[in-house]
Amino acid sequence: MRSCDRRTATGRRDFAVLTVLLRLGLRVGEVAGLQLRDVDWRHGEILIRGKGRREERLPLPTDVGEAVAGWLRRGRPPQCSSTHVFTTVLAPRKALSGEAVSAIVRRAALESVSAHRLRHTTATELLRYGASLPEVGQVLRHASLLNTALYAKVDHVALGTVARPWPAGAQ
């Protein structure tokens, strides 16, 4: 996140893209597909068009809203006619592709990190701060709790403090 120079249009856009990926746990295609009409500023919600043509509303956290608004107000070219939230900065001004979103992640990372890895990070952070596995699954919009379990890296130290001891004599 610190690698984004928010004094530039590209830096503001990249910061907003990374913030959306990290805080909302979205998929690359979901970020690339965000439309201006999907952001409900008045109600603090964002419409996500996900896998299987599912549409779900998520709360729009303040920091995510501020990052997106920073891009829209002070980064996005005014003459851009695209209805997508995230666009290229240079002409021809068009919606970012999923690959372009992934490239933003690769540029920002000090090591090789995929954009999809940020979904895992979101799940792990939610668990670390006390969210239950079903709650994490809701945020990531998983159909099955088994999918959520694959995403969430378990904090073994924290788990050890709440795990029951193994019964004596059990094999």
Q: Which residues are catalytic?
A: 27, 51, 116, 119, 142, 151
Q: Which strand (E) or helix (H) includes residue 64?
A: helix 62-74
The burial class, CB within 10 Å (0-12 / 13-18 / 19+), for 45 is: middle
CB 19 within 8 A of CB 69: no
CB 6 within 8 A of CB 96: no
